[in-house]
Chains A and B, each alone.
Chain A
Amino acid sequence: MFSFVLRRLASAVPTLFIVVTISFFLMRFAPGGPFNLERPLPPQTMANLMATYQLDKPIWTQYGTYITNAVTGDFGPSYIYKDNTVAQLIGKGLPYSLELGFYALILALFGGVLAGTIAALRQNSLLDFAIMSVSTVGVTVPNFVVGPVLTLVFAITLSWLPAGGWGDGSLRFLILPMIALALPQLAVFARLTRGSMIEALHTDHIRTARAYGLPARTVVVTHAMRAAMLPVVSYLAPCAAALLTGSAVVETIFTIPGVGRYFVLGAINRDYTLVMGTVILVAIFVIVFNLLVDILYGLLDPRVRHD
């Protein structure tokens, strides 16, 4: 087990390196640069800026410098948000994204598994139909629609909750963005759980358990659930990585000061270093969560062994 984790962590290094390299060069293929604004800068100023940020050096030199610095934890200055380094921007924004994403993940996971289980147990009933209809809506209606509708109802019309901002970080500021963020994922979890639960309930060992006269609760929670959780757990990794690193859409709609927006802003503004920083952040999250899920898999499914 221990050696498995070590091996996985060791293989993460070349993976990260490849991700960084590809993103670095892809970014430079896009036309324009961080200082090509709607109001173009005079050539002299442009030259001064390019020199300051060493963007006038050959691209291989820039790449070499970037890699060397990144290894030591220096991800460079942000070209657009000039008062901050990329590390500072991510450092300031990540706690907000993590907190909101964590709540949304909990809501999506437990809400989704609960709804999916109920739907599976009452297969083809009215309740099943209702849950699946709502989750279809959850998957198909994008959060840039859900978000504004929630604000319109709960903030502007009813004045119960704030329309946006982090405020003092109390729960009332987080409820609407949390729902908007969690809803599509909750729906996915519900659908996954329902499908695998129905399948699990029809397996031989469940029939055996039932035949032994085990209470229905034990059959479902202890035996069926364990098998039914496998697809849910595999989806957990990309979902957690996505939620915890922030959503550009939800953060923009609710003006949350997280890191999600930096993906989009960085790319639009050709803030090369900021894009690289966010790419590395997401890559690390994906790698770590995939590892965690693989470990979890081994615990849930006796057929999987890490040695």
Chain B
Amino acid sequence: MSSLKINLRAAALLGSLLIGASPALAEAVLHRGNAGEPQTLDQHHTSINIEEFILKDLYEGLTVYDAAGKIVPGAAESWTVSDDGTVYTFKLRADAKWSDGSPVTAGDFVFSFQRVEDPKTAAGYANILFPVKNAEKVNKGEVPLDQLGMKAVDDKTLEITLERPTPFFLELLAHQTALPVSKASVEKNGADFVKPGTMVSNGAFKLAAHVPNDSLTVEKNASYWDAANVKLDKVIFYPIDDQAASVRRFEAKEMDIAYNFSADQLERLKAAYGAQVRVSPTLATYYYAFDTRQEPYSDVRVRQALSMAVDRDFLAKEIYSGSQLPAYSMVPPGIETYGDPSKADFAEMSQLDREDKAVELMKEAGYGEGGKPLAIEIRYNTNPNHERVATAVADMWKNTFGATVTMVNLDVSSHYAYLQEGGAFNVARAGWVADYADAENFLALSVSTNKTFNYGHYTNPDFDALMKKSYEETDPAARSKILHEAEALMMKEQPVAPFLTQADLWLVADKVKGWQDNAANQHLSRFLSVSE
């Protein structure tokens, strides 16, 4: 170890002698906090944004999100879509190269997408690409890999055929699962293609070093097609799962960017750091699901009443210190193709009016004071904030309806395993973070055929029919209208009660330039720079 250090120092000394005394060569380094250690650097096995931030700096998909969170061309410079919306033809950039200098080809993308759907890969997010023709069948092992609807017409032309029109397909292509791997590298190195020194990537940066739980360093990729506009020489990601530790390292100026901190720190940090504190509403909804299979939650009036009685302003301001926003719709605001979501009709009422109406509805349903007793059990996953929310909601239901409310909490794995496996419950906490910026991603959770995420087993043929219609509609405006109708219906029936739109909390030092808050929470380092 020590001899290595000496050698490095000697090399550095020698290097500086050779280059000569030119202080202008100071490297532009961004010290970027990340919410934890990446579980893998294999894009086809990732599912969380810890890996997303790193992988999207290393690799570039066909489409990418720009600094403002808008979809723009990535490795593909342009594309055409067939009239029926089922065939996409992408033209790859002539100068798109891997970090070893070899060209990025259509074949690499075909190989990558086949790898995602190969049942042997067991990719966690294989379903993201299910709109591609035969993807689901390939993933189930029903048809061979080459039946996947992907074709390399030539080295730079890629044709993707879909099962059905998928208006949000370009968003899906910007997902981390859709990032390409180098066919040559994966075939040569197998599972080791993710290691520093071996990894070949096509993004603005390439992997330089990785010490698990300490740091992950990426450096500028000279082969990247837009390298001239990449201002950073190096980005060092620090994996810190303890939010308080992350804030301390930002405050000690060891990191320029810190992601996610405890909401109760918001006021203090705002006072100390002003505009360096960023509260950016994101595409994520915090909601409670009702088990619609059983009394009294099968009664729409009971669900409406319970939902109305929850003072969302209180949750947002008192529990989350304004770091989350009150929500009255399942789809959060900020989706370009959707616009303003369809809110529940009680959104416009004052909280006092809502409570009066709620009591009335509950009486009609025959529960609460003077009716059948109302005993509710709230299930949530163990977390101090979820506990505070559950306590507040329990209190609101007690005060409004005289209900007896009990609470049960389990750790994350157990909580979701229980709901997924169809376990019976009364009311359960859940959250959804968008996989892609489209309303469908939130609404499809409540379709009756969604066995996994429709925890409350809500079944409404009208809602299902509207969702089905939306998949067949290729005109964006007409489609958006159908989705709004579906959401309006859902908000009327409240199979789920959305409480909050979540926000991403960032600390971004003044010296970091080019940062833009966006609901998609996309922040490629390629658009950032640092000033001393």
Contact = CB atoms under 8 A, between A and B. Distances in A.
A37 B413 contact: yes
B449 interface: no
A254 interface: yes
Contact of B451 (A37, A43, A253, A255): A43
Nearest to B46: A82
Contacts of B122: 45, 48-49, 51-52
A237 B252 CA distance: 37
Contact of B413 (A162, A168, A270): A270
Interface string B1-28: 1000100000000000000000000000
Nearest to A95: B1
Given A38-B416, A165-B249, A92 B240 contact: no
A59 interface: no
Nearest to B5: A168
Interface stretch (B123-131, B263-271, B466-474): B123-131
Interface in B182-207: 191, 194-195
B37 interface: yes
Contacts of B451: 43
A298 B254 CA distance: 50
B158 to A, nearest CB: 25
B436 to A, nearest CB: 13
Nearest to A267: B411
Contacts of A258: 213
A114 to B, nearest CB: 29
Interface residues of A, number: 53
Contact of A82 (B40, B245, B416): B40
Contact of B124 (A41, A253, A256): A41
A262 to B, nearest CB: 9
Contacts of B251: 156, 163
B126 A45 contact: yes
B139 A44 contact: yes
A81 B241 contact: no
Given A51-B122, A81-B37, A42 B452 contact: yes
B417 interface: yes
A303 interface: no
Nearest to A92: B212
A39 B47 contact: yes
A169 B211 CA distance: 12
Contacts of B414: 30-32, 36
A111 interface: no
B238 A165 contact: yes
A165 B214 contact: yes
A40 interface: yes
B410 interface: yes
Nearest to B432: A39
B29 interface: no
Contacts of A43: 451-452
A246 B196 CA distance: 26
B418 interface: yes
B453 interface: yes
Interface in A22-64: 30-33, 35-45, 48-49, 51-52
Nearest to A166: B214
A257 interface: yes
B140 interface: yes
B252 A159 contact: yes
A83 B381 contact: no
Interface string A140-155: 0000000010011001
Interface in B412-447: 412-414, 416-420, 431, 433
B52 to A, nearest CB: 13
Contacts of B420: 36, 40
B131 to A, nearest CB: 14
B39 interface: yes
Contacts of B418: 31
A260 to B, nearest CB: 10
Interface string B116-136: 000111111111000000001
Given A163-B254, A270-B413, A40 B248 contact: no
Contacts of A30: 414
Nearest to B215: A165
A269 interface: yes
Interface in A200-234: none
A36 B240 CA distance: 22
B244 interface: yes
A28 to B, nearest CB: 13
Most buried by B among A36, A251, A265: A36
A64 to B, nearest CB: 23
A164 interface: yes
Most buried by A among B39, B41, B253, B410: B39
Given A33-B413, A39-B47, A51-B122, A83 B213 contact: no
B260 to A, nearest CB: 14
A164 B254 contact: yes
Nearest to A270: B413
B41 A83 contact: yes
A164 B212 contact: no
Most buried by A among B1, B37, B254, B413: B413
B410 A31 contact: yes
Contacts of A36: 412-414, 416-417, 420
Contacts of B136: 44
A82 B45 contact: yes
A156 B248 contact: yes
A255 B214 contact: yes
A83 B120 CA distance: 16
A36 B242 CA distance: 22
Given A36-B420, A156-B251, A255-B214, A164 B411 contact: no
B39 A49 contact: no
B40 A163 contact: no
Contacts of A148: 244, 248
A261 B245 CA distance: 14
Interface in A87-126: 89, 92-93
Contact of B417 (A33, A251, A268): A33
B252 A155 contact: yes
B256 interface: no
Contacts of A37: 47, 412-413, 416
Nearest to A154: B252
Given A36-B417, A82-B42, A93-B213, A164 B245 contact: yes
A40 B416 contact: yes
Given A36-B416, A164-B248, A164-B249, A45 B124 contact: yes
Contacts of A255: 213-214, 238-240, 242, 245, 249
Interface in B395-411: 410-411
A40 B452 contact: yes
Given A36-B417, A163-B254, 5 more contacts: A37-B412, A45-B124, A45-B125, A48-B123, A49-B124
24 contacts: A32-B414, A32-B417, A37-B412, A37-B413, A38-B416, A40-B453, A42-B126, A44-B139, A44-B140, A45-B139, A48-B139, A81-B39, A82-B39, A93-B213, A148-B248, A152-B248, A163-B245, A163-B254, A164-B252, A252-B241, A252-B245, A253-B244, A257-B212, A258-B213
What are the 9 closest A-B residue pairs judged by CB atoms, nearest first?
A32-B413, A163-B252, A257-B214, A257-B213, A48-B122, A31-B414, A82-B40, A32-B417, A36-B417
Interface of A: 30-33, 35-45, 48-49, 51-52, 80-84, 89, 92-93, 148, 151-152, 155-156, 159, 162-166, 168-169, 251-258, 261, 265, 268-270
